[in-house]
Homo-oligomer: A and B are copies of this chain.
Amino acid sequence: MQQYPSILLTRAVDEFSKLPGIGPKTALRLVLHMLRQEPQSADNLATALTELCHGVKYCSVCHNISDNERCDICSNPKRDNTTVCVVENIRDVMAIENTQQYRGLYHVLGGVISPMDGVGPSDLEIASLQQRVEQDNIKEVILALSPTMEGDATNFYIFRRLAPLKVSVSVIARGIAQNDELQYADEVTLGRSIINRTPFKN
Protein backbone atom coordinates (compact mmCIF):
# COMPACT_ATOMS: atom_id res chain seq x y z
CA MET A 1 0.00 0.00 0.00
CA GLN A 2 1.48 3.31 -1.10
CA GLN A 3 2.01 5.82 1.72
CA TYR A 4 1.33 9.45 0.85
CA PRO A 5 3.06 12.20 2.80
CA SER A 6 -0.17 14.07 3.61
CA ILE A 7 -3.63 13.06 4.82
CA LEU A 8 -5.31 15.60 2.54
CA LEU A 9 -3.38 14.16 -0.40
CA THR A 10 -4.31 10.61 0.60
CA ARG A 11 -7.98 11.52 0.78
CA ALA A 12 -8.00 13.24 -2.63
CA VAL A 13 -6.17 10.31 -4.26
CA ASP A 14 -8.58 7.84 -2.63
CA GLU A 15 -11.61 9.72 -3.92
CA PHE A 16 -10.21 9.97 -7.46
CA SER A 17 -9.34 6.24 -7.41
CA LYS A 18 -13.02 5.41 -6.92
CA LEU A 19 -13.75 6.60 -10.46
CA PRO A 20 -13.92 3.83 -13.07
CA GLY A 21 -10.69 3.23 -14.97
CA ILE A 22 -8.64 5.42 -12.61
CA GLY A 23 -6.15 3.57 -10.44
CA PRO A 24 -4.05 4.98 -7.62
CA LYS A 25 -1.20 6.01 -9.96
CA THR A 26 -3.43 7.96 -12.34
CA ALA A 27 -5.29 9.44 -9.37
CA LEU A 28 -2.02 10.69 -7.91
CA ARG A 29 -1.03 12.17 -11.27
CA LEU A 30 -4.37 13.98 -11.54
CA VAL A 31 -4.22 15.26 -7.96
CA LEU A 32 -0.65 16.51 -8.35
CA HIS A 33 -1.71 18.23 -11.55
CA MET A 34 -4.54 19.97 -9.68
CA LEU A 35 -2.05 21.04 -7.00
CA ARG A 36 0.10 22.75 -9.61
CA GLN A 37 -2.91 24.79 -10.81
CA GLU A 38 -4.53 27.71 -9.03
CA PRO A 39 -6.88 26.54 -6.22
CA GLN A 40 -9.62 28.16 -8.32
CA SER A 41 -9.54 25.31 -10.84
CA ALA A 42 -10.09 22.74 -8.08
CA ASP A 43 -13.03 24.83 -6.89
CA ASN A 44 -14.44 24.92 -10.42
CA LEU A 45 -14.30 21.15 -10.77
CA ALA A 46 -15.75 20.66 -7.28
CA THR A 47 -18.59 23.11 -7.88
CA ALA A 48 -19.45 21.67 -11.28
CA LEU A 49 -19.61 18.17 -9.78
CA THR A 50 -21.75 18.98 -6.76
CA GLU A 51 -24.08 21.24 -8.74
CA LEU A 52 -24.56 18.49 -11.30
CA CYS A 53 -25.11 15.66 -8.83
CA HIS A 54 -27.50 17.65 -6.64
CA GLY A 55 -29.22 19.69 -9.33
CA VAL A 56 -29.58 17.14 -12.11
CA LYS A 57 -33.09 16.73 -13.56
CA TYR A 58 -34.50 14.10 -15.85
CA CYS A 59 -37.13 14.87 -18.49
CA SER A 60 -40.53 13.72 -17.19
CA VAL A 61 -41.45 12.46 -20.67
CA CYS A 62 -38.38 10.69 -22.08
CA HIS A 63 -36.18 10.45 -18.93
CA ASN A 64 -33.23 12.01 -20.73
CA ILE A 65 -30.99 14.23 -18.58
CA SER A 66 -32.24 17.80 -18.74
CA ASP A 67 -32.07 21.21 -17.11
CA ASN A 68 -35.86 21.54 -17.13
CA GLU A 69 -38.97 19.52 -16.39
CA ARG A 70 -39.14 18.71 -20.10
CA CYS A 71 -35.95 18.23 -22.14
CA ASP A 72 -35.06 20.29 -25.20
CA ILE A 73 -35.88 17.43 -27.56
CA CYS A 74 -39.34 16.70 -26.10
CA SER A 75 -40.24 20.39 -26.03
CA ASN A 76 -39.00 21.10 -29.57
CA PRO A 77 -42.11 21.58 -31.78
CA LYS A 78 -40.10 20.81 -34.93
CA ARG A 79 -39.47 17.21 -33.87
CA ASP A 80 -41.74 14.43 -35.07
CA ASN A 81 -43.70 13.55 -31.93
CA THR A 82 -45.30 10.44 -33.42
CA THR A 83 -42.03 8.47 -33.43
CA VAL A 84 -40.21 7.31 -30.33
CA CYS A 85 -36.73 5.78 -30.33
CA VAL A 86 -36.08 3.55 -27.31
CA VAL A 87 -32.47 3.64 -26.06
CA GLU A 88 -30.62 2.37 -23.01
CA ASN A 89 -29.01 5.56 -21.72
CA ILE A 90 -28.38 9.21 -22.42
CA ARG A 91 -25.11 8.46 -24.18
CA ASP A 92 -27.08 6.59 -26.84
CA VAL A 93 -29.32 9.65 -27.26
CA MET A 94 -26.22 11.76 -27.86
CA ALA A 95 -24.80 9.20 -30.31
CA ILE A 96 -28.02 9.12 -32.36
CA GLU A 97 -28.37 12.92 -32.22
CA ASN A 98 -24.84 13.17 -33.60
CA THR A 99 -25.85 11.25 -36.73
CA GLN A 100 -28.44 13.98 -37.52
CA GLN A 101 -30.55 11.25 -39.15
CA TYR A 102 -33.37 11.14 -36.63
CA ARG A 103 -36.00 13.83 -36.03
CA GLY A 104 -38.35 11.99 -33.64
CA LEU A 105 -38.40 11.75 -29.85
CA TYR A 106 -36.57 9.39 -27.48
CA HIS A 107 -37.35 7.19 -24.54
CA VAL A 108 -34.45 6.39 -22.19
CA LEU A 109 -34.97 3.01 -20.51
CA GLY A 110 -32.12 3.32 -18.04
CA GLY A 111 -30.67 -0.06 -18.96
CA VAL A 112 -31.72 -3.43 -20.33
CA ILE A 113 -33.37 -6.43 -18.70
CA SER A 114 -30.59 -8.48 -17.15
CA PRO A 115 -31.56 -11.12 -14.56
CA MET A 116 -27.87 -11.76 -13.85
CA ASP A 117 -27.48 -8.16 -12.63
CA GLY A 118 -30.86 -8.18 -10.91
CA VAL A 119 -32.42 -5.78 -13.44
CA GLY A 120 -36.02 -6.65 -14.22
CA PRO A 121 -38.64 -4.87 -16.38
CA SER A 122 -39.94 -2.93 -13.37
CA ASP A 123 -36.49 -1.36 -12.84
CA LEU A 124 -36.64 0.18 -16.31
CA GLU A 125 -38.86 2.86 -17.80
CA ILE A 126 -41.00 0.33 -19.68
CA ALA A 127 -44.34 1.06 -18.00
CA SER A 128 -43.92 4.75 -18.79
CA LEU A 129 -43.14 3.83 -22.41
CA GLN A 130 -46.38 1.86 -22.65
CA GLN A 131 -48.23 4.79 -21.13
CA ARG A 132 -46.72 7.20 -23.65
CA VAL A 133 -47.71 4.96 -26.54
CA GLU A 134 -51.26 4.67 -25.19
CA GLN A 135 -51.75 8.39 -24.54
CA ASP A 136 -49.52 10.38 -26.89
CA ASN A 137 -50.61 9.22 -30.34
CA ILE A 138 -47.29 7.47 -31.05
CA LYS A 139 -47.26 5.77 -34.47
CA GLU A 140 -43.86 4.08 -34.43
CA VAL A 141 -41.54 2.78 -31.76
CA ILE A 142 -37.93 2.20 -32.89
CA LEU A 143 -35.96 -0.17 -30.66
CA ALA A 144 -32.31 0.93 -30.56
CA LEU A 145 -30.88 -1.21 -27.76
CA SER A 146 -27.49 -2.92 -27.69
CA PRO A 147 -27.25 -5.97 -29.98
CA THR A 148 -26.56 -8.26 -27.01
CA MET A 149 -28.55 -11.09 -25.48
CA GLU A 150 -29.92 -8.72 -22.84
CA GLY A 151 -30.78 -6.12 -25.46
CA ASP A 152 -32.56 -8.73 -27.58
CA ALA A 153 -34.51 -9.98 -24.56
CA THR A 154 -35.55 -6.43 -23.73
CA ASN A 155 -36.55 -5.81 -27.35
CA PHE A 156 -38.73 -8.92 -27.26
CA TYR A 157 -40.29 -7.96 -23.92
CA ILE A 158 -41.15 -4.45 -25.11
CA PHE A 159 -42.50 -5.84 -28.39
CA ARG A 160 -44.82 -8.20 -26.46
CA ARG A 161 -46.01 -5.41 -24.20
CA LEU A 162 -46.75 -3.05 -27.06
CA ALA A 163 -48.33 -5.75 -29.28
CA PRO A 164 -51.94 -5.09 -28.15
CA LEU A 165 -51.55 -1.39 -28.96
CA LYS A 166 -51.90 0.20 -32.38
CA VAL A 167 -48.24 1.03 -32.90
CA SER A 168 -45.67 -0.28 -35.33
CA VAL A 169 -42.49 -1.53 -33.68
CA SER A 170 -39.21 -1.57 -35.60
CA VAL A 171 -35.63 -2.36 -34.66
CA ILE A 172 -32.49 -0.64 -35.94
CA ALA A 173 -30.72 -2.47 -38.76
CA ARG A 174 -27.94 -4.88 -37.87
CA GLY A 175 -25.31 -5.79 -40.40
CA ILE A 176 -21.79 -5.15 -41.56
CA ALA A 177 -20.47 -1.82 -40.30
CA GLN A 178 -19.09 0.78 -42.71
CA ASN A 179 -15.45 -0.02 -43.61
CA ASP A 180 -15.56 -3.42 -41.89
CA GLU A 181 -13.92 -6.25 -43.75
CA LEU A 182 -16.29 -9.10 -44.57
CA GLN A 183 -13.83 -11.83 -43.71
CA TYR A 184 -13.56 -10.57 -40.14
CA ALA A 185 -17.31 -10.19 -39.53
CA ASP A 186 -18.83 -12.78 -37.20
CA GLU A 187 -21.16 -15.38 -38.71
CA VAL A 188 -24.34 -14.15 -37.01
CA THR A 189 -23.85 -10.61 -38.26
CA LEU A 190 -22.86 -11.67 -41.77
CA GLY A 191 -25.75 -14.16 -41.94
CA ARG A 192 -28.25 -11.55 -40.84
CA SER A 193 -26.89 -8.97 -43.23
CA ILE A 194 -27.65 -11.38 -46.11
CA ILE A 195 -31.14 -12.24 -44.84
CA ASN A 196 -31.97 -8.58 -44.25
CA ARG A 197 -30.46 -7.31 -47.53
CA THR A 198 -31.97 -4.10 -48.87
CA PRO A 199 -32.74 -3.09 -52.48
CA PHE A 200 -29.72 -1.41 -54.05
CA LYS A 201 -30.14 2.35 -54.29
CA ASN A 202 -27.88 4.83 -55.98
Chain A residues near B (Cβ < 8 Å): 2-9, 11-12, 14-16, 18-22, 26, 28-35, 37, 39, 41-57, 64-67, 71-73, 89-91, 93-94, 97-98
Residue of B nearest to A93 (CB): B5
The 8 closest A-B pairs by CB, nearest first: A46-B46, A42-B53, A39-B53, A15-B45, A12-B48, A12-B52, A8-B52, A15-B48
8 further A-B pairs in the complex, CB-CB below 8 A; given A31-B52, A35-B52, A42-B53? A2-B98, A3-B97, A4-B94, A5-B72, A6-B66, A9-B52, A43-B53, A46-B46
Tell me the bound Cα distance from A22 to B42 in angstroms. Answer: 15
* Residue pair B11, A52 in contact (C-beta under 8 Å): yes
In contact, A7 and B67 (Cβ under 8 angstroms): yes
Could you say how many copies of this chain the assembly holds? 2
Q: Are B53 and A11 interface neighbours, CB within 8 A?
A: no
**A65, B53: Cα distance in complex, Å:** 31
A21 and B11 contact, CB distance less than 8 A: no
Residues in B neighbouring A44, C-beta threshold 8 A: 15
* A56 in complex: contacting residue of B6, B43, B73, CB < 8 Å: B6
